[in-house]
A and B are shown apart, each in its own frame.
Chain A
Amino acid sequence: DIVLTQSESLAVSLGERAIINCRSSQTLLYNSNNKNYLAWYQQKSGQPPKLLISWASTRESGVPDRFSGSGSGTDFTLSISALQADDLAVYYCHQYYDPPYTFGQGTKLEIK
């Protein structure tokens, strides 16, 4: 199974940039279409997760452009610029390259 590794928590000041990393145990880049099969989800307390980013860098409709995804192969990043209090949540990366699909353990974003 593909293992995704995230840091457990991250504390960032309001207005600053948050960078959340996700490392995969194997490549998520599908050579035939040059797409990375990785998504990012945000889960606020008491709510179901919400899809932010798919294909490593495609922002979902309605997601603020403060959120951006980057990376390729085995190393990926979710960046949140100009952090707002509403961004307090747990962020998960998720691979759909090869079943069984897997999630990272989640990064809890805290306000410093």
Chain B
Amino acid sequence: EVQLVESGGALVQPGRSLRLSCKGSGFRLRDYAVTWVRQAAGGGLEWVGFIRATTHGQTKKYAASVEDRFILSRDDSEGVVYLQMNSLKTEDAALYYCTKGFTDHFAFSVSWGQGTLVSVSS
């Protein structure tokens, strides 16, 4: 069974950093693109960004709202994808979902984790 587990969510002050992790099981995470999607409380889905598989150069794309602050990376030896979030703003507060892409290239979300909660407040 395909499973994705996010971790690292926490309450942080504005301007601070946080790193989220995503670990997959039931499949080889290294073979797939991984996308992060977030959802603010009571809100809709917001695409954050994707990282393609190493076979596609680990190409990364980000939403304009997080570009230059968030960084995606992957450790294929550990089967983990990371979302480094810097200079956090109050509007970054959300439930962050890690999702498995369709293939190593096509990054639309096929399977979803349960999410990890990020709160940003002073």
Distance of A51 Cα from B62 Cα, bound (Å): 21
For residue A101, which residue of chain B has the nearest CB? B47
Q: Contact between B63 and A94 (Cβ–Cβ < 8 Å)?
A: no
Residues of chain A within 8 A of B109, CB atoms compared: 39, 41, 49, 51, 94
Q: Given the known A-B contacts A1-B64, A48-B97, A54-B102, are A102 and B112 also in contact in the complex, defined by CB atoms under 8 Å?
A: no
Residues of chain B within 8 A of A66, CB atoms compared: none
For residue A48, which residue of chain B has the nearest CB? B112
Give the number of residues in B that approach A within 8 Å (Cβ atoms).
24
Q: Contact between A101 and B108 (Cβ–Cβ < 8 Å)?
A: yes
Distance of A7 Cα from B107 Cα, bound (Å): 26
Q: Contact between B112 and A50 (Cβ–Cβ < 8 Å)?
A: yes
The yes or no answer to A69 lying at the interface (CB within 8 A) is: no
Q: Contact between B114 and A106 (Cβ–Cβ < 8 Å)?
A: no
Say how far B15's CB is from chain A's closest CB, in angstroms.
24
Residues of chain A within 8 A of B9, CB atoms compared: none
Q: Contact between A96 and B107 (Cβ–Cβ < 8 Å)?
A: yes
Within 8 A of A (CB), among B44-68: 44-47, 49-50, 61-64
Q: Which 10 A-B pairs have the closest CB atoms?
A: A99-B61, A48-B112, A96-B108, A103-B45, A101-B47, A106-B44, A100-B63, A105-B44, A39-B108, A51-B110
The yes or no answer to A92 lying at the interface (CB within 8 A) is: yes
Say how far A57's CB is from chain B's closest CB, in angstroms.
14
Distance of A87 Cα from B108 Cα, bound (Å): 23
Residues of chain B within 8 A of A50, CB atoms compared: 112
Distance of A41 Cα from B39 Cα, bound (Å): 14
Distance of A90 Cα from B39 Cα, bound (Å): 13
